[in-house]
Amino acid sequence: SFVLTQPPSVSVAPGQTASITCGGNTIGSDSVHWYQQKPGQAPVVIMYYATDRPSGIPERLSGSNSGRTATLTISRVEAGDEADYYCQVWDTSSDHWVFGGGTKLTVL
């Protein structure tokens, strides 16, 4: 089955840049979406189709996707960015949605 691999955790100091990766065999040709989830809350989409930001999402967040890895980059990290981040892909071979295992971003 299709698997998306994320690092369990990423730590970064305030003001620095955080990169969260999402690996998958064919992810470079797939539409990848990213969600942010804070404790006790529902997920919120923060990046869609790899590089597009919904309205209200700061420009500090950016995305890329090539080869076997999609990346969510958060520049000038703030304390409020501390959350769990999930990538998501629609697997056309199985007609299943697939989520990555999630990455916990810690702001030091």
Partner 1 sequence: QVQLVETGGGVVQPGRSLRLSCAVSGFTFSKYDMNWVRQAPGKGLEWVAAITDDGINKYYADSVKGRLTISRDNSKNMLSLQMNSLRAEDTAVYFCAGSRSGWSDRYFDYWGQGTLVTVSS
Residue ranges binding partner 1 (CB under 8 A): 1, 30-31, 33, 35, 37, 41-45, 48-49, 84, 86, 88-90, 92, 95-102
Residue 105, token pair as written in the block: 């971003």
Coil vs helix vs strand at 60: coil
DSSP 108: -
CB closer to partner 1 out of 16 and 41:
41
Tokens of 48: 């869609």
Nearer to partner 1, 14 or 54 (CB): 54
69 phi/psi in degrees, rounded to 5: -140, 130
Query: Nearer to partner 1 by C-beta: 18 or 89?
Result: 89
